[in-house]
Amino acid sequence: MCIQSLNMPKIMAATNLVWTVFLSFLLSASLAVSVAPKRPVDVPFSRNYMPTWAFDHINYINGGSEIQLKLDKYTGTGFQSKGSYLFGHFSMHIKMVPGDSAGTVTAFYLSSQNSEHDEIDFEFLGNRTGQPYILQTNVFTGGKGDREQRIYLWFDPTKAYHRYSVLWNMHQIVFFVDNVPIRVFKNSKDLGVRYPFNQPMKVYNSLWNADDWATRGGLEKTDWSKAPFLASYKGFHIDGCEASVQAKFCATQGKRWWDQKQFRDLDPQQYRRLQWVRNKYTIYNYCTDRVRFPTIPPECKRDRDI
């Protein structure tokens, strides 16, 4: 009894230390998870989407859990969300056109329905066999775009599906590739920059011919002997606040997971990943183009693009 009583304080201290370390680990783990977008829920095509044009150029696979868009010399095709949304998290698994894809564009984007439209763009620009795809992103606010950024991807997007996502709330728009942030566009209304907040957007996906500009500024034309070109889609995740086209606010504003404080900015790890993309894979950034923009666009400083 004497020996046990002498060691008890040390045992209790050791136990408390273990619990402290364990609880700290749980806390840090929960914080790490909390700043990542909520895990997407993959659903069949028909749950959230419908064809837009050239219906006969869409192939349905595995009961509609996967589709292929077909482009030939006659037409491309596309699809759009059934609903319109004010804020949310939107993602798509896409496998790009394999082989010689020069002149083609595979797109995944959000857009409002009026002349002064808001738009959030992923555009994948095809290339000659053996050359990498270029991913172009853009943000339109109040009808103004010209905010192009281009990167090379760090993998071959034709070999397997990869997830491309948009997180959009009142504070920021974040573009993700496989959960790696590749671009952020912060709300800079206080700097005189329009921000998309009161125009609901639909989600669009399409495959089309753009050989007047897509590959080397239009120097490389689509080789129709390689047609049909096929891009594959699955996942079809939408987690947004559905609203009518005329709506100016979301009824659940401030109550959804993407509205919470931890999603108002990237966390330090996400900024490190973003910087990695900028340093290694960025090939064009409008923020650093002094020919087009002699004066640095004000949002670029807030987005940490310069």
Active site residues per annotation: 119, 123
Asked if 215 and 124 count as a contact pair (C-beta separation under 8 A), the reply is no
Residues 238 and 85: beta-carbon distance below 8 Å: yes
Integer Cα distance of 219 and 168 in angstroms: 35
- 166 touches 110 (CB < 8 A): yes
Helix, strand, coil percentages (3-state) for the chain, rounded to 5, are 25, 35, 40
Picking from 80, 274, 73, the residue whose alpha carbon sits closest to that of residue 186 is: 274
Query: Cis bond leading into 297, ω under 30°?
Result: no
Question: How are strands ordered across the β-sheet holding 134-140?
Answer: 49-53, 77-81, 202-209, 104-111, 119-125, 134-140, 149-152, 282-285
CA 208 – CA 39 distance, rounded (Å): 30
Mention every residue, 6+ apart, whose C-beta is less than 8 A from residue 171: 186, 187, 263, 264, 265
For residues 206 and 110, is the Cβ–Cβ distance under 8 A?
no
Q: For residue 34, give the H/E element and its range.
A: helix 2-34
Task: Spell out the SS3 assignment of 82-97.
Answer: CCEEEEEEEEEEEECC
